[in-house]
Homo-oligomer: A and B are copies of this chain.
Amino acid sequence: MRKEREIFGKYLSRHNLRDTPQRELILDAFLKREKHFSAEELYDIVKKSDPSIGQATVYRMLKLLAEAGLAREVDFGDGVMRYEHSYNHPHHDHLVCRECGKTVEVMDSVIEELQKRVAESFGFELTDHEMYLYGLCPDCRRKTQK
């Protein structure tokens, strides 16, 4: 968390960007947040501390966090982009419940390796990927059966 602040500070100065109270506030909220979130959700949070903050500022800050390598975009395909921590949060994929929306981070290195091989078998050089597994979580399975 200290380290993340440091990284962002360096990112700002390296790009001739300024440190502002708004950016500090949004950075704080981001660092406190554990679950992934949308721009609007983060906006609602920071608005409590600074009701005059604009949502454009939140959108802009999220772009910066992503570029600085602290955040990562997550697209669940519902038209709303979410963000999650990227620093010290190694790559993973998502397992999402179709019923209640609960998500679990998953990672399988065998799958990762196979993805690379599949790409290579078509002559592609794999740079990244997206994988979303959809299903029913344990709770919703129980509810559905009864």
Contact = CB atoms under 8 A, between A and B. Distances in A.
A66 interface: no
A33 interface: no
Could you say how many copies of this chain the assembly holds? 2
Contacts of A111: 111, 114-115, 118
Nearest to A123: B138
A75 interface: yes
A134 B128 contact: yes
Given A122-B138, A129-B133, A129-B134, 12 more contacts: A97-B124, A98-B127, A106-B118, A111-B115, A122-B137, A124-B138, A124-B141, A125-B136, A126-B135, A130-B130, A130-B132, A131-B132
23 contacts: A77-B77, A95-B119, A95-B124, A97-B124, A98-B127, A106-B118, A106-B119, A106-B122, A111-B111, A115-B133, A118-B133, A123-B137, A123-B141, A124-B135, A124-B136, A124-B141, A125-B135, A126-B135, A127-B134, A127-B135, A128-B135, A129-B132, A130-B131
